[in-house]
Structure 1
């Protein structure tokens, strides 16, 4: 949506998001090698050519906790986990695990009749709505106990944040729709569905805003190479901000009744349905392809881990995921044999961290490695909350230790210069472990299609793929050892990187914003794994 946001900049002179005009990277850049290809990818292809040739790995189950996966995609259909103890479509819980017909995983945001949640609120709204009846009429001078006073202050802070988000969403929705109206008007007058730059330059704009819209259309073709791709981004932008206003931040909207669970019972485990695709599987399908798209079928793309099998756990709606569902997806993944769990989601607020912590502990006890995306706010996670995370807390929010087998991932760019860290990526010297490719990542999307996407959501599965490779070809290594191998084998750039910190642009070393100061590298990781396996 970079062109749309730049258009809003032209209207309000407010830098909502500063994207630069860049050329596209080489295909499959995330798997290329810095020395051989001049691209700071993960050297995956080099690893297959020089380290894995002639070797056979074991099948390894990777749970993708996300918004659903198109399990029939041409590049994924042979890479989906199958529950061999379950018989598809017989409406019987054959393996008696509490989930009927869970052949490929489970959907925790649907009901037993097959109806699914597509949109949900942001967590900040849900928390404000819960506390509002108690505190909406309370004044700062109202006598309160210590616990209530603390909760009241939290409510005030959350309500202010909620109102700010709602105001921005409403203003942006109006602006982006106005922009689209200008674009549609120009297209109608030109009478071309996919106009060229030459055809646009011949058009005489009717007013100042139409002239600005025309300039953005021309820039869109220059950057994307095709007007249709620019227009696709525009439509996605309209859909996104409509969802913000109508669902994410709409106080009157609450879809949880669709699921039919006892929502306040955090320990309830058995609800949902077997529809692992759901109504919008774009994000989860893209994530799954990065990890495991078929490398040998001469179709589409090449995933990272040739022996990975994707267990699909649908938890993330269009909106914020719910803690209860995240916890249950983790419990399910562990109980059904996942060795790596990818979690490409996150939020700024949390309702029930203790139940998620209990599931994370369970995963740690069962030798499962969790890979989590650091988030896309361009913020320092050392100073800003981002959930879920590896820190265990008690009911008062006091620190109770950390989950050791957890890797937090930021997103890197394809240029090996000061723009190496993606401008949207969160970072943190104490909270983010590594960076991995997360810009213009070409991967699978529903209906056997492919698309480029940006985000730490794309960087996390890159690391999950490397973890799956190690667990496949060196299955004796524990989750803790796999993590150690990944972190010890990173590529450490020496140049300084541009970031925005405290609203100011800075240049820092990667080691200043990341625990390892490095980029994940599959070749280095497998080379180190081989050495350690020999020495073991």
Structure 2
């Protein structure tokens, strides 16, 4: 029996779009008590907000550091940030910030000639390629003491690269064989049923007595239903696209000879370089990065006023797009610059749905995070989708500086599901009692994708913008809150849940409360109540008397 890659498809590809004029279901907005779904209680939260004074001044700026955003999406265009000092398309740096025509944000993975980088190497590939000639064939004993830390990094990156390259090749070979088999099966099925299109209705009740054809029809009918596709041509196209993604891993992500950086035209090893890239924050509507970034942006702030499509969490924000995460691993230099750009252009919350397991330029990222903290900016980061304990296997950007201190303005988020049972934690989510702060909805989250369409995607990539949206609402209505206070409120209001859940990557049942620092799932309504209570408590405190000067 064929196994359809449902989860993989949800993680990397949009499903069939919904008509723009129809609202879409979004379980992450639901209320645990009233709706029996482990959402964030958005409707209850807005009932509470109606009792509060409306935010004053300009909408809060939330940056989405990702792979790009479809700036023409019907549910996003009203809520996008616009640089008030930049004239679109005139080829000039009107505001003299070093970034020409940055109307919606900036793209640190583009060239000045307008080309864009879509696929990168994994970080372990880059490290191994860079250090291979220097350390190949050497041992720790033959390496000078001053170079042993770098040699150890080389050894770790080499081992990871060789293992992942072999795994990627094996997966591609197996999937290619399966794809060939699918093509042959579907051709035989069409011929046997004497049709050119195999749709759901036909496959449900095929007009044949041939048992082999009946088994095949039943199998592909199940695939169409699970993937919500109209016919097997669409299904086969999905399989082809997934196979192409696997091939890209071999040809690019784990290819020592691949080097796309000349397209950008910067000096990759100069971590102090700031001004490179281009203003194309969309890059390509069909690129996975733009699908991913648009989806994250919609979770945070899809237009809540137009009564169509999806609804974002925050109603008083503008989304600033910073592109730095192509397919593959983002570069530390680009991440650091993306954070600085977002901070310098007014962002108070930054959503970051990317990650990797090597970070040779972490010092630069740390400094950018310190800079954000000094400017009053909260960073929200996805924990990762490899069902790993990140207390034991560090995922970057990590929640601690190089000196071991916790990063006070960084929240790390795991992904949860809609039911308070064994499936409360998403099966792919990373976890960690010391390194993951909180969980948030991240399984089959419906949101915006390019072309004014909507699709459900899964990942901690979806959970992070849920928390960024919660933080944005809090900061909009309680602007005095510092990043540390926002983090504290979000964590403290996520009440511990002692549900027995399936530990990701295993068949072991564990207490959900042991998988993060809070042991809970974020809730907008509870966070707002706590913020309101804390504000009231501060207001009741008597003013401090100061001694009079004689």
Instruction: State TM-score, norm by structure 1.
Output: 0.89
Asked if structure 1 preserves the Cα contact closer than 8 Å seen for 2:140 and 2:148, the reply is: no
Asked if structure 2 preserves the Cα contact closer than 8 Å seen for 1:7 and 1:179, the reply is: no
Match of 1:315 in 2: 324
String of CA shifts for 1:282-329, please: whole Å, max 9, x gaps: 000000000000011122101000112100000000111000000000
Among 431, 448, 460, the alignment partner of 1:427 is 431
Question: CA offset at residue 186 of structure 1?
Answer: 2.9
Which runs of no fewer than 5 residues in structure 1 stay unpaired? 9-16, 18-25, 394-398
Asked if structure 1 preserves the Cα contact closer than 8 Å seen for 2:349 and 2:380, the reply is: yes
String of CA shifts for 1:38-79, please: whole Å, max 9, x gaps: 101000122113433675235110000000000110000001
Match of 2:441 in 1: 437
Asked if structure 2 preserves the Cα contact closer than 8 Å seen for 1:3 and 1:216, the reply is: no
Secondary structure of residue in 2 paired with 1:481: helix
Match of 1:293 in 2: 302
* Residues 181 and 363 of structure 1, relative CA distance in 2, 3 Å threshold: same
- Distance in 2, matches of 1:149 and 1:456, equals 35
Secondary structure of residue in 2 paired with 1:39: coil
- Matching of residue 533 in structure 1 with residue 516 in structure 2: no
- RMSD of equivalent CA atoms: 2.4
Asked if structure 2 preserves the Cα contact closer than 8 Å seen for 1:93 and 1:101, the reply is: yes
- Matching of residue 185 in structure 1 with residue 187 in structure 2: no
Among 27, 45, 48, the alignment partner of 2:46 is 48
- Matching of residue 94 in structure 1 with residue 94 in structure 2: yes
Question: CA offset at residue 435 of structure 1?
Answer: 0.3
- Matching of residue 198 in structure 1 with residue 219 in structure 2: no
String of CA shifts for 1:157-195, please: whole Å, max 9, x gaps: 321221111111112112212222222333333232434
Asked if structure 2 preserves the Cα contact closer than 8 Å seen for 1:205 and 1:214, the reply is: no
For residues 19-38 of structure 1, the aligned pairs below 5 Å read 27-38=25-36
- Matching of residue 220 in structure 1 with residue 223 in structure 2: yes
Secondary structure of residue in 2 paired with 1:505: coil
- Distance in 2, matches of 1:200 and 1:55, equals 62
Secondary structure of residue in 1 paired with 2:491: helix
- Distance in 2, matches of 1:381 and 1:212, equals 43
Among 327, 341, 345, the alignment partner of 1:332 is 341
- Distance in 1, matches of 2:180 and 2:205, equals 19
Asked if structure 2 preserves the Cα contact closer than 8 Å seen for 1:290 and 1:443, the reply is: yes
* Residues 54 and 141 of structure 1, relative CA distance in 2, 3 Å threshold: closer
Instruction: State TM-score, norm by structure 2.
Output: 0.87
Higher-Rg structure is 2
Question: CA offset at residue 97 of structure 1?
Answer: 1.0
Among 238, 244, 247, the alignment partner of 2:249 is 244
- Distance in 2, matches of 1:306 and 1:265, equals 39
Which runs of no fewer than 5 residues in structure 2 stay unpaired? 12-23, 191-195, 539-550
Question: CA offset at residue 390 of structure 1?
Answer: 2.5
Aligned length: 508
* Residues 166 and 414 of structure 1, relative CA distance in 2, 3 Å threshold: same
Asked if structure 2 preserves the Cα contact closer than 8 Å seen for 1:7 and 1:213, the reply is: no
Asked if structure 1 preserves the Cα contact closer than 8 Å seen for 2:206 and 2:214, the reply is: no
- Distance in 2, matches of 1:354 and 1:535, equals 39
